[in-house]
Every structure is written in structure tokens, then in C-alpha cells.
Amino acid sequence: MSEHYRIVIETFSSTNKHSVERKVIKEYKIKSPNSIMDLGFRHSEQIEILQEIQNKLLQEQSITLKSPLDKCPACGGHVRLNGVEPSDFHSVFTDHRVNVHRLKCGKCDWNKVSSIESLFGTSVHPDLAKMQCEAGANHSFRAAQKILNLQSNGTRKINNHDRIKKVVDSIGGEIKKELQRPFKLPANHQAANELILQVDGGHLKSDDPEKSSFEALASVIYRPEDVQKKGERGFIESKQCAASALDDQLKTIKRNTLIAAKKQGLSMTTHVTALCDGAQNCWSVVDAIKSQCGSLTTILDWFHLSMKFQNTAMPPEHKIKLIRIKWHLWRGHADRALLRLLELKELVDIKYKASITTLQTYIENNETRIVDYRLRYKNGKAISRQIAESTVESLINQRCKGKQHMRWSRHGVHCILQVRAAIASKDWENNWEKTILNATLKAA
């Protein structure tokens, strides 16, 4: 076994490969490991090696870093190089100072001090911006700061929680702009025979002292054949998500849901089955699809309907009657269920009547959306949002309702939700480079 090893960088000319510059990055004595801690490089050593390699590469690249100006903008005279100026550059795990050429006019006193940001529009590598955006969209900004610093094995100012928030706001804002542009179907677009649409909302605490909370809405749309079984629970193999926290009479969530549906294959021949919990704003989002599809079936979500019965106060001696009423609805007989509820209300004490009235009103408001759930279930068709419930739950609640002290602005939540919806839809995998560059780059 060799006693030592070196990590070396070599630079050479493609026309003269014998002209080689070698720089030793690290030299180590190889020792037999006494524990697992001695195997390979430690985290700090890996970062140090990466720092040195990056520094050498950046040193070579910096030779060509200068503004493209060749004439003085003040007098039109010839511009010449005038030394270099160190400039900040933030890579994924390391920070650097890169020399950039200064410019000076040969006729007048005009001069220009260039920087990485002025040349490229940003001093942050898009790969780092992507990591910051994903961490900030999935965790609190302070938790994201800790995670990114742990990955880099040290505290970095560029990973400050305020900076991460700005990145998420900027990139979420860019996704919002992209969704506002006219949507064009891709060349390989295939129309879907059937789509399932589910819409839900979550109430978030507001940072507005005059309002205690506001509602954010999210929708999920997928093809029935994309529901796959994994153990006892199912998962959706391919889906499109949309979300909005804006107070704009549902315009944004309707538009984003329609775009998501088109991406998933919505056409004038597609049958759409929509499941909601009965909230009118959710049904309003569903209505935006009606004119863009072949046919639409709206179904009151069975899980939420069952929960309404479970949460209805009832004396023990009459609980079996309430359960029997629920099974009338399971078979799609809303009229029978309402009749039995009227009969039940006459049997209970006054303190239970209000609870039954609330249940009656809920069924009456959604009577046309109560179907034969038993038959649909027997035929393997969707009757509940439980399969996609985790998607809506994760879009809003897991990020925005995790801690009691959280207070949100509509704009801040909306930007986070755009990123989370893009990631859940897998649009992020295909489009993140373009989105981040559009969001972070400025005119040099």
C-alpha cells in the first residue's frame, strides 16, 4: 500500500500539453483506520478540498472576466484594462473572491469597476439558489438556514434566513408571472379521456392586525390510471397542482387550476370528475373547468360527508339511527336521508336539534352532488379525496400551519405555494433553471 497520496490540479494548453502547471491541493499520509471516523474524508476536509479546487478553476476563468464594453460611454474613447477588482461569488457549498478586470478610458477619467453581479446579473450560482428555494419552500426560513449551513459545514452569510426568504419570494413571483402568460400546449400533448379534480383550502393566521386569518386554496388534478397502490395506501404517479393565497375573487386559483388541467390532458372530449368537501369557493374553482371539458361530474367527498355525521352530537340511544341515515347517503338517496333527519330531530332534546339542523343544511346545499357511492366504490371509481388529500395537505398545511406563532401575508404564502405546487407537479424538475435565471438575473 502507498504511504502517501496527493490531490493535484493540473492546468495545460490544448495546443501544448507539455506546458503543465501543477498545484498540490492536499497531501496526506495514509494510515490504517482505527474507526469508521477514519475512513475517507471528513465533512470539513471535503469542503476544504472543494474550496481549493474551485479557487483554482475560478482563478483561471477570471482571466477572461471583463465587461464587454470597448468604447467609453462618456466620450467614445478607447477603453483599456486597468487592473483587477476582487468580487464575491457564492457557489453551492463555498464562497469565493474572484478577480474581475477594471476598465478605464484612455481619453477621459471614466472608469468602471466590474463585479460578478454586474457581469452575470447575480453573484449566486443557480444551483445554490435552487437549494435555497427548495429548503425555504419546505421548511421555515430559519430551519432552512440551519440545513444549508450544515451542508456547507459552516455559517455562510449568503444562507441567512432573510436571504432565503427573498429567494423564495423572487422565484415564487417568477412562477406566478409564468402562469400569467398565455399557455401553449406542448407538441407531444395527449388528450385525457378522464381527469379527477380535487380542490381544498386551509386557513392560515394573518399578519394583518385587522384580520385573524385568511384562506389559501389548492387543487390537484390527475388521470385515474395514474393512481397506483403502495401497500394499503395509494399514490398518484403523475399529477398537476395549483395553489393561491391571493384575495382576487378566485381568479388566480381558477386560472392556475385550468392550466394544470390542460397540462394533464384536459380537452373538449375529456370527462372531469370533481370532488370537494362542500365549500362554495371550492365548487367555484371547479366551475372554471366546465366550459373547457366534454362533461363534468361533481361529487361531494364521501370522507368529509362521513365526518359530518361523526361530528354531529347525538344521544347514545339514537346514534344507530344516525348511522342508518348515513347509509342512505352511501346509496345516493339524499331525499331519504333528509326525511329521516327530520324525523330524528323530533325525537331528540332541544340541545341536539341545532346539530342536526347543521347537518341537514349541509346535505341540502350539496344534494345534487351526492351520488351512489356504493356503486362507484364497487366499480373502482373515486368517491373521496383521501388519495390526493396528502398532496393538498402538504401544499398548504405542512409548511404554513406547523407552528402556532406563524403569521403570514397573502403575498408571502402565495410565493411559497407557487414553488411547492411546481415541485409537487414535477414541473420544477424540467423548468427550474429557466425559472431561477429569470427570477435572479438582472441586466448586466
How confident is the model over 261-285, as pLDDT tens digits? 999 999 999 999 999 998 999 999 9
**Mean pLDDT over all residues of the chain?**
90
DSSP three-state, residue 326: helix
pLDDT in tens, 178-236: 999 998 887 778 899 999 999 998 889 898 888 888 999 999 999 999 887 665 566 78
- Give CA–CA dist 301/282, Å, rounded: 12
DSSP three-state, residue 67: coil
Please spell the DSSP secondary structure of 139-201, one letter per residue: S-HHHHHHHHHHHHTS--GGG-HHHHHHHHHHHHHHHHHHHHSPP---TT----SEEEEEEEE
Query: Grid coordinates standing for 425?
Result: 407537479
pLDDT of residue 391: 60
pLDDT of residue 443: 38
- Give CA–CA dist 167/157, Å, rounded: 14
- Give CA–CA dist 231/428, Å, rounded: 28
C-beta of residue 325 within 8 angstroms of C-beta of residue 337 = yes
Spatial neighbors of 346 by CB under 8 A, at least 6 apart, are: none
Q: Give the predicted TM-score (pTM) of the model.
A: 0.88
Residue 393 vs residue 339, higher pLDDT? 339
Lookup result for grid cell 394583518:
208
Lookup result for grid cell 414553488:
419
Mean pLDDT of the 239-261 span: 95
pLDDT in tens, 198-209: 999 888 989 888
pLDDT in tens, 285-298: 999 999 999 999 99
As separate numbers, helices (DSSP H) first and strands (DSSP E) second, the chain gives 16, 12
Selection from 111-120, 232-241, 413-422 with the highest mean pLDDT: 413-422
- Percent of the chain whose predicted confidence (pLDDT) is above 90: 62
Range scoring the smallest mean pLDDT among 106-115, 239-248, 387-396: 387-396
Question: Would residue 391 be called left, alpha or beta, if left means φ above 0 and alpha means ψ between -120 and 50 degrees?
Answer: alpha
Residue 371 has pLDDT above 50, yes or no: yes
- Give CA–CA dist 123/325, Å, rounded: 65
> Which alpha helices (H) appear in 62-140, and where do they start and end?
116-120, 126-138
Range scoring the smallest mean pLDDT among 14-23, 140-149, 282-291: 14-23
pLDDT of residue 83: 87
pLDDT in tens, 389-444: 556 677 887 787 765 567 899 999 999 999 999 999 988 998 999 999 999 875 34
pLDDT confidence band for 67 (50 / 70 / 90): confident
pLDDT of residue 419: 95
pLDDT of residue 388: 53
